[in-house]
């Protein structure tokens, strides 16, 4: 589809986003972008003030063309939700009536469950200035509202759509702590690798009489090993640190052992530069 | 403080939001607004392209004046984070290196835990066009990234700040399913109230020979009661429904029991209108 990266999966499923009498094309465009960011694609407009299509919406959508091009326009909210099985209304304020009020996480879980069961769902968002009327809220099944700063509660329409779209995306994840990419392997090095590092650094320090006075040597070694153990260094990190120690050790001592630091002691870039300088 | 409702609690605590070389004042203003929505207030700018203060930022902040007025400007990122104990970098793409990559929920929980322990924390956001450099990411402790549509992954800076601010707010809630206001009491009516409704509707239907043929009566009653039981109607809802039945019953039968529906059978507005019409 237009404006998307064909190599990566384009998510386009989930609840319809229904904007009731939106006023500004920019806001409609930002809504489309927020939807695309989190895998929604079905945008419906009820009686947009400035008509449709909208150049301003297109510009603000930042290439969410598949959302903008598929946008449907309706004269009434009743028509806009006619084919849906379950509808949320977003509102920032208490309403009279019998409808359950849900947090975004709860609403997203419900929408996901109903989506998985084959239901068609939607979320209503009101006008920029004053939201939805009570009559419009009454057409929905339940209410969703956002946990906001009590003294600064007004979310704009694109922000509200963004948050619901984000919660929709999270509701489909097996683990909400999962990330699309990971750090390099963060498994701590084996103890053998760690002890080899202890040996290197302690030998270098010992040759400089760092361990002094003799009565304190065991405690000093304990402290040093504790500092070096707590971070849980990985094998590549230990390679970097061994390179650093080799470099410091080599520069001062000018190869007292009669050899340069071996390259395989410095597995990371820059790790053996100091050693070469020491030799110059 | 300016621009806020003094009757409601103004939340102003939590991590600093640090924008590195932001370009557009509008974006800075929208960031301030998003922060205020979710109770953050400490905005720091590193070398903003168009200088500071910014009229465009002020306008876009939508009265988040307490954030705008307290914004601090720094020449370098190092200075901007100098007083902080723990810093996240936001990035949309994989980076080389050893930093842990966290989801927003995980990062927010960590920030909350460190905040509660008295640490000062911050979150870095990069330039509008191309984010943070590798060197800037290297100054942070960990990386946070958003679960986005793989084919439409670019969040704008205000959206990214909004999501982290929202997760920050949620991380402080005892229950993320809690809502700032609730529906009226949704406790189902007692069975006595429900059975009274059954009795009323069944009597009205029976007088019209609805239960027919006789062999199917038990099943018809079972089905009707199942339909009326499943919703778990509350006491006020049953009052509304009893008013509706009274109205329908009265209109058709012209008070065959010799009396109008009593007002106390119709607890909700409109519940006995039909009865009055039936009498006219």
Cβ pair B49, B22 in contact under 8 A: yes
Residue A261 confidence (pLDDT) above 70? no
Closest CA relative to residue B40, chosen from B138, B150, B125, B139 = B125
Give pLDDT tens digits for B165-183: 999 999 999 888 888 787 7
- Spell out which residues of chain B touch residue A153, defining contact as CB-CB under 8 Å: 8, 37
Q: How far is B167 from chain A (nearest CA, A)?
A: 10
The chain-wide mean pLDDT, for chain B, equals 86
Give pLDDT tens digits for A177-217: 888 787 777 788 999 999 999 999 999 999 888 998 999 99
* Confidence at residue A260, expressed as pLDDT on a 0 to 100 scale: 53
Give pLDDT tens digits for B21-50: 999 999 999 999 999 999 999 999 999 999
- A252 compared with B274, residue with greater pLDDT: A252
* Confidence at residue B259, expressed as pLDDT on a 0 to 100 scale: 53
Give pLDDT tens digits for B192-209: 999 999 999 999 999 888
Residue A24 confidence (pLDDT) above 50? yes
Chain A residue with Cα closest to B8 = A151
pLDDT classification of B121: cutoffs 50, 70, 90: very high
* Confidence at residue A253, expressed as pLDDT on a 0 to 100 scale: 57
pLDDT classification of B152: cutoffs 50, 70, 90: confident
* A183 contacts B36? CB cut-off 8 A: no
**Cα–Cα distance for residue pair A253/A204, rounded to 1 Å:** 9
Residue A5 confidence (pLDDT) above 60? no
Cβ pair A136, A77 in contact under 8 A: yes
- Phi/psi-derived region of residue B44, left when phi > 0, alpha when psi is between -120 and 50, beta in every other case: beta
Average pLDDT over residues B214-221: 92
Residue B3 confidence (pLDDT) above 70? no
* A38 contacts B179? CB cut-off 8 A: no
* B98 contacts A177? CB cut-off 8 A: no
Beta strands in chain B (DSSP E): 16-20, 43-46, 72-74, 86-90, 101-102, 121-125, 142-144
| Every domain range in chain B assigned CATH 3.40.1280.10 | 16-171
- Spell out which residues of chain B touch residue A10, defining contact as CB-CB under 8 Å: 149-152
Residue B257 confidence (pLDDT) above 60? no
Residue A241 confidence (pLDDT) above 50? yes
- Suggest the residue from B106, B112, B151, B154 to mutate for an interface test with chain A (most A CBs closer than 10 A): B151
Tell me which residue in A5, A102, A103 faces B151 most closely, judged by beta carbons.
A5
SS3 call for A144: strand
Residue B102 confidence (pLDDT) above 90? yes
- A267 compared with A76, residue with greater pLDDT: A76
The alpha carbon dihedral of A259, A260, A261, A267 has a sign of: negative
* CATH code that applies to domain A16-171: 3.40.1280.10
* A99 contacts B39? CB cut-off 8 A: no
Q: How far is CA A239 from CA A196, A199, A244, A272, B72, in A?
A: 11, 14, 9, 10, 40
Residue B139 confidence (pLDDT) above 70? yes
CA A72 from centroid of its chain's CA atoms: 30
* Confidence at residue A172, expressed as pLDDT on a 0 to 100 scale: 94
The alpha carbon dihedral of B226, B227, B231, B235 has a sign of: negative
Tell me which residue in B5, B159, B184 faces A34 most closely, judged by beta carbons.
B159
Cβ pair A31, A160 in contact under 8 A: no
pLDDT classification of A259: cutoffs 50, 70, 90: low
Chain B residue with Cα closest to A32 = B152
- Spell out which residues of chain A touch residue B148, defining contact as CB-CB under 8 Å: 37-38, 169, 180
Cβ pair B165, B40 in contact under 8 A: yes
The rounded percent of chain B whose pLDDT value lies above 90 is 64
* Confidence at residue A168, expressed as pLDDT on a 0 to 100 scale: 96
Q: How far is CA B150 from CA A8, A11, A12, A63, A179, in A?
A: 6, 8, 11, 14, 12
- Spell out which residues of chain A touch residue B147, defining contact as CB-CB under 8 Å: 166, 169-170, 173, 176, 178-180
**Cα–Cα distance for residue pair A261/A259, rounded to 1 Å:** 7
Tell me which residue in B159, B182, B184 faces A162 most closely, judged by beta carbons.
B159
pLDDT classification of A1: cutoffs 50, 70, 90: very low
* B184 contacts A97? CB cut-off 8 A: yes
SS3 call for A124: strand
Cβ pair B160, A200 in contact under 8 A: no
Across A105-109, A180-184, B231-235, B274-278, the highest mean pLDDT is recorded for: A105-109
Least confident span in A264-268, B28-32, B122-126, B169-173: A264-268
ipTM score above 0.90: no
Number of Cβ pairs < 8 A linking chain A and chain B: 175
* A105 contacts B176? CB cut-off 8 A: yes
Tell me which residue in B10, B170, B181 faces A152 most closely, judged by beta carbons.
B10
Q: What count of other Cβ atoms lies within 10 Å of the Cβ of residue A258?
A: 5
Tell me which residue in A4, A99, A159 faces B152 most closely, judged by beta carbons.
A4
Average pLDDT over residues A230-256: 81
């Amino acid at each position: 589809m237009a404006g998307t990266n064909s190599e990566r999966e384009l998510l386009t499923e989930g609840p319809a986003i229904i904007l009731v009498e939106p006023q500004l094309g920019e806001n409609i465009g930002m809504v489309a972008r927020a939807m695309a960011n989190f895998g929604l694609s079905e945008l419906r407009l009820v009686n947009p003030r400035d008509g449709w299509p909208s150049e301003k919406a297109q510009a603000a959508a930042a290439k969410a063309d598949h959302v903008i091009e598929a946008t449907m326009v309706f004269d009434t909210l009743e028509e806009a939700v006619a084919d849906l099985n379950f509808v949320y209304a977003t509102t920032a304020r208490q309403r009279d009536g019998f409808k359950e009020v849900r947090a975004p996480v709860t609403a997203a879980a419900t929408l996901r469950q109903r989506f998985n069961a084959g239901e068609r769902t939607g979320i209503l968002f009101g006008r920029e200035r004053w939201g939805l009327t009570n009559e419009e809220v009454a057409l929905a099944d339940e209410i969703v509202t956002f946990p906001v700063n009590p003294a600064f509660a007004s979310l704009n329409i694109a922000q509200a759509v963004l948050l619901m779209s984000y919660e929709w995306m999270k509701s489909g994840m097996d683990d909400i702590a999962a990330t699309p990419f990971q750090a390099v392997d963060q498994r701590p090095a084996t103890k053998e690798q760690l002890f080899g590092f202890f040996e290197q650094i302690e030998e270098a320090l010992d040759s400089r009489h760092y361990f002094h006075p003799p009565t304190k040597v065991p405690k000093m070694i304990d402290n040093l090993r504790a500092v070096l153990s707590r971070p849980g260094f990985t094998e590549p990190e230990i390679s970097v640190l061994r390179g650093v120690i080799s470099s410091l050790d080599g520069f001062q001592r000018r190869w007292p052992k009669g050899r340069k630091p071996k390259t395989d002691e410095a597995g990371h870039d820059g790790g053996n530069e100091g050693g070469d300088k020491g030799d110059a």
